[in-house]
Structure 1
Amino acid sequence: MTLSPRVRRMRVTALILLMVAGTVNYLDRSALSIGNSAIRTDLHLSDTQMGLLLSVFALAYGLAQLPIGILIDRFGPRRLLGGGLVLWSLAQAASGFVGSLGQFVGARAALGIGESPMYLAGTKVFTNWYPPAERSWPIGLFNASSALGPTIAPGLLTLLLLAYGWRPMFILIGIGGIAIALLWELLYRDPAHAGLDARELASIKAWDDEAAAGQAAGSWPVLFRQPTTWGMAIGFFGVIYLTWLYGTWLPDYLERERHLSVRAAGLWTAVPQACGFLGAVLGGLASRQLARRGMAPVASCKAPLIAGMLVTAACTAGAAVVQGAAPAIALISFALFAATLASSCGWAMAAVATSPDKVATLEAIQNIGGSLGGACAPAITGGVVQATGSFTPALLLAAAIAVLSAVIYGVAVREPRLHQGAPTPERR
């Protein structure tokens, strides 16, 4: 069905706003890893304490996922994301004023709660505005902001760190988040409140057929009775474990294990993250192309995800044992490319694995598993490095987790009844 210019304009506006917000979101998350050495010295923290501090965000983020997902499915993404933007930006700015580990833990926990609606709300936005066959591409682009932020972060934040110190660095990017919150409030509306006429509303809901309505029967607890839900949550643990391992410890790894200067480590960190951005974009594209060729919706996301995790495992293991900084950076770049490709496919999968009324809740359940991975990666890595004096065992462990994640997705995740034996959306 032909969409009106107003509907197309709102889709583009939503995508741009979400990508900008997602980029700022990951600038905020990256600040602690960029300032790792300076913060550790200033606050007199050990590697284990820093690992725990790096994990606090993910723990708070994970605990908030399910209630936030339920609220987004019930009340829509606009208000939840707008409030989250304000909270996380204030928490980020407050981090610039902390004087102890306890205060920093509190600020990081608030940051995690504030950021918890970001990717759940974004996926809900695309579920509201796009039919199933078209969702993986905008979701892939949106998810690419999770790599674009860390790509920009090393250069930008390292310059701020060296010029002004770590405290002003936190404050400035917190102010930037408040500006994004104002833009979101002014420019985005959910379909029911976007001033669309009856014909336009009907056009964007044309993909809601009887099968989807049948699958929507029942409230969100039904998701916990489906093996695919558990497979997605447990498998996503491994996906986010790998991305968070590099997202939190890569600058320090390059300084200590590969003997680069603070400036060089900050700048070279951008190379793997740029590869991660490319992987995230191509993940959504790969899923869309497989779906267009007739592959079932969940399978079109699962196949590249599994391949991505296996490549991530191989490259991470290689980085653990290779000699020299350049080969290690190259292997980590391939690892992050494949891991973020897998991450994009995981987010797109949740948008087609259940009915529209439960998308944010399923995303939340999946992301609880991912958040546990994000919490474990920095904490375990910090503990292993302190115990062994080397990053090699931590990287080999991460490679094993990536392989296990691929196996879980292959065994546990299945096509929902909605799509089994049904024609693909393009052929309806």
Structure 2
Amino acid sequence: MAGCNHWGRNAVETHGPTPRIRRTQRIALALLVLSGVVNYIDRATLAVDNPLIRDELGLSVGDMGVLLSAFLWAYAFTQLPVGALVDRLGPRHMLALGLGLWSLAQAAGGLVTSFTQFFAARIVLGLGEAPQFPTAARVSRDWFNPRDRGTATGIWNCSSTLGTVISVPLLTFLMLVVGWRWMILVMGLLGIAVAVLAYIIYRNPSEVALTEAERTHLTEGDTTGEMARLTLGEWKRLFAYRTTWGMLLGFFGTIYILWIYASWLPAYLQMERHMSIARTGWVAAVPFVFSVLGSLLGGRIADVLARRGMRPIDSRKWPMAISLAGTGVFTALAAWSANDMLAIGCISVAMFLCYVSTATGWALVSVAAPANCTASLGAMQNFGGYLGGALAPATTGLIAESTGSFTPALLVGAGLALVCAVAYATIIQDPIPAAELDAQGVMAPAEYQRRPGPGRSA
């Protein structure tokens, strides 16, 4: 098949990564995993020190709910502008800037004396953390060939679960040793150190004198072409493509169901399954271990399918849609199961599949649009996802409170996942080519200038 030559064995051997590219890739992934782990540990501080903060500051449970949701809403609505900033300024500046800002906000949380001050700190925390994943998507696009971007995405994407697994024991230890205020301050200082490290050692491709062979390796197999620097008009035109809306809708379902488990799993096990707090502590960690495996495998699946001749966009689209549908099915089975261990098994499979879908969803970002739109498209997708993420905790709590059971809430999440999986599979068809998006066709491949490009809105 002539159309698959870019993925053939000879191309891989001729244009393999140089030692410098491999070294850069390892450094980039290490920084993304480290910063991602810090990102998710910082998100968890409020959940861990919740009782102590309420006692010292005189806050109600409702006040804590507002503080928890403040981060999510700020994070969601910052996605849209921050993606364009990543594409304009580059990952090096935005990764360090985001890390520094959220770490300062985290440290400030250890100094607050009132609800208003804490609310402001949580808002800034959401603003600062917003660039993390759009930046990571752009790094994958910049430093990895399309046939390797799925695996790279799976590696940095698993940092969210690693951070979640690490956060409770680490933060509890710090809180017991130095108190809740110093626990927060220590994490803030750690984040600032990582921000400085990232700025010092990471480089954008434009800051490196790449050889022609290295440039060929990084772009070989791309079908979207290249653009000049992203403009506001081109950013707006991304919303005219069905691919953008399919990604946004699909990620809404993925992050909605993910945050059902992230915010309510311990309470579900205690209230619905009548487990003790001690038992909940280790049982609730099991599904998140499976999440790490799902993230790593999801990225690998995308690359294997692409190397076997499947179009890059299809090698991401179908695993994402199928795994999201599977997440819904196993969530429903968990809700209906009368056996506790069977329910935990179903939840573990659901979380495994959910992280297959997040990894392949983020991997799609790196092949669905021109390079200078990668972070913008990823941020749009994440905006849709975190609208679902912000709604899930409150919706789940309201349904459980009104019905006296978590079963209807889980079934709502399962149904939503199935609907979003179908939308994702049917709406997304083709990548967005540079020749259509760039009004002047700057640096766009000739083949896209000669014929109508795919991905156009219907």
TM-score of the aligned structures, taking structure 2 as reference length = 0.84
Displacement of 1:47 after TM fit?
Answer: 5.8
Counterpart of 1:242 in structure 2 is: 257
Matched, 1:83 2:97: yes
Counterpart of 2:443 in structure 1 is: none
Residues 216 and 356 in structure 1, CA contact (< 8 A), matched pair in contact too = no
Find the aligned partners of 1:259 and 1:87 in 2 and give their Cα distance.
Answer: 41
Find the aligned partners of 2:330 and 2:221 in 1 and give their Cα distance.
Answer: 42
Call closer, same or farther: CA 1:43–1:303 in 2, change over 3 Å: farther
Displacement of 1:303 after TM fit?
Answer: 1.2
Q: Which has the larger radius of gyration?
A: 2
Name the aligned partner's letter for residue 172 of structure 1. V
Find the aligned partners of 1:404 and 1:301 in 2 and give their Cα distance.
Answer: 18
Displacement of 1:306 after TM fit?
Answer: 1.5
Counterpart of 2:144 in structure 1 is: 130
Name the aligned partner's letter for residue 280 of structure 1. S
Call closer, same or farther: CA 1:231–1:46 in 2, change over 3 Å: farther
Residues 295 and 358 in structure 2, CA contact (< 8 A), matched pair in contact too = yes
Find the aligned partners of 1:391 and 1:206 in 2 and give their Cα distance.
Answer: 48
Residues 100 and 128 in structure 2, CA contact (< 8 A), matched pair in contact too = yes
For 1:310-329, list aligned pairs within 5 A.
310-329=325-344
Name the aligned partner's letter for residue 135 of structure 1. R
Call closer, same or farther: CA 1:198–1:310 in 2, change over 3 Å: closer
For 1:176-255, list aligned pairs within 5 A.
176-194=190-208, 196-199=209-212, 202-207=215-220, 212-213=225-226, 219-255=234-270
Residues 241 and 432 in structure 2, CA contact (< 8 A), matched pair in contact too = no
Displacement of 1:31 after TM fit?
Answer: 2.8
Counterpart of 2:70 in structure 1 is: 56
Displacement of 1:225 after TM fit?
Answer: 0.7
Find the aligned partners of 1:254 and 1:220 in 2 and give their Cα distance.
Answer: 44
Relative CO higher for 1 or 2, CA cutoff 8 Å, sep ≥ 6?
1
Displacement of 1:335 after TM fit?
Answer: 1.2
Displacement of 1:268 after TM fit?
Answer: 2.7
Name the aligned partner's letter for residue 154 of structure 2. G
Call closer, same or farther: CA 1:388–1:48 in 2, change over 3 Å: farther
Counterpart of 2:153 in structure 1 is: 139
Displacement of 1:42 after TM fit?
Answer: 6.0
Counterpart of 1:424 in structure 2 is: none
The more displaced of 387-396 and 333-342 is: 387-396
Find the aligned partners of 1:385 and 1:101 in 2 and give their Cα distance.
Answer: 27
Call closer, same or farther: CA 1:255–1:157 in 2, change over 3 Å: farther
Find the aligned partners of 1:346 and 1:157 in 2 and give their Cα distance.
Answer: 30
For 1:358-373, list aligned pairs within 5 A.
358-373=373-388
SS in 1 for 2:284: helix
Length, aligned pairs only? 420
Displacement of 1:95 after TM fit?
Answer: 2.5
For 1:289-328, list aligned pairs within 5 A.
289-328=304-343
Identity %: 44
Name the aligned partner's letter for residue 254 of structure 2. V
In structure 1, which of residues 261, 264, 276 is the aligned counterpart of residue 291 of structure 2? 276
Counterpart of 2:281 in structure 1 is: 266
Residues 33 and 247 in structure 1, CA contact (< 8 A), matched pair in contact too = no
Counterpart of 1:108 in structure 2 is: 122
RMSD: 2.8
Displacement of 1:210 after TM fit?
Answer: 8.4
Find the aligned partners of 2:91 and 2:157 in 1 and give their Cα distance.
Answer: 16
SS in 2 for 1:294: coil
Q: Provide Cα deviations, 1:62-89, integer angstroms capped at 9, x if missing partner.
A: 1111211111111111111101101111
SS in 1 for 2:369: coil
Name the aligned partner's letter for residue 153 of structure 2. I
Matched, 1:334 2:349: yes
Find the aligned partners of 1:402 and 1:262 in 2 and give their Cα distance.
Answer: 29
Call closer, same or farther: CA 1:130–1:307 in 2, change over 3 Å: same
Counterpart of 1:380 in structure 2 is: 395
In structure 1, which of residues 119, 129, 135 is the aligned counterpart of residue 133 of structure 2? 119
SS in 1 for 2:225: helix
Find the aligned partners of 1:20 and 1:190 in 2 and give their Cα distance.
Answer: 18
The more displaced of 39-48 and 273-282 is: 39-48
Displacement of 1:301 after TM fit?
Answer: 0.8
Residues 151 and 271 in structure 1, CA contact (< 8 A), matched pair in contact too = no
Displacement of 1:103 after TM fit?
Answer: 3.1
Residues 93 and 175 in structure 1, CA contact (< 8 A), matched pair in contact too = yes
Counterpart of 1:352 in structure 2 is: 367
Find the aligned partners of 2:23 and 2:258 in 1 and give their Cα distance.
Answer: 33
Find the aligned partners of 1:99 and 1:249 in 2 and give their Cα distance.
Answer: 28
Name the aligned partner's letter for residue 396 of structure 2. T
Q: Provide Cα deviations, 1:247-296, integer angstroms capped at 9, x if missing partner.
A: 12223333333344444433332211111111011110111111112111
Displacement of 1:338 after TM fit?
Answer: 0.7
Unaligned 5+ runs, structure 1: 422-428
Residues 18 and 214 in structure 2, CA contact (< 8 A), matched pair in contact too = no
Find the aligned partners of 1:273 and 1:417 in 2 and give their Cα distance.
Answer: 34
Displacement of 1:396 after TM fit?
Answer: 1.7
Call closer, same or farther: CA 1:341–1:245 in 2, change over 3 Å: same
Residues 131 and 207 in structure 1, CA contact (< 8 A), matched pair in contact too = yes
SS in 1 for 2:220: coil
Q: Provide Cα deviations, 1:318-350, integer angstroms capped at 9, x if missing partner.
A: 222333543332222111111111001110111
Call closer, same or farther: CA 1:30–1:240 in 2, change over 3 Å: same
Find the aligned partners of 1:164 and 1:329 in 2 and give their Cα distance.
Answer: 34
SS in 2 for 1:109: helix
Displacement of 1:113 after TM fit?
Answer: 0.5
Residues 16 and 217 in structure 2, CA contact (< 8 A), matched pair in contact too = no
Q: Provide Cα deviations, 1:106-149, integer angstroms capped at 9, x if missing partner.
A: 22211111001101111111111112222111011111111111
Displacement of 1:38 after TM fit?
Answer: 5.4
Unaligned 5+ runs, structure 2: 1-14, 434-446, 452-458
Displacement of 1:215 after TM fit?
Answer: 11
TM-score of the aligned structures, taking structure 1 as reference length = 0.89
Find the aligned partners of 2:143 and 2:152 in 1 and give their Cα distance.
Answer: 10
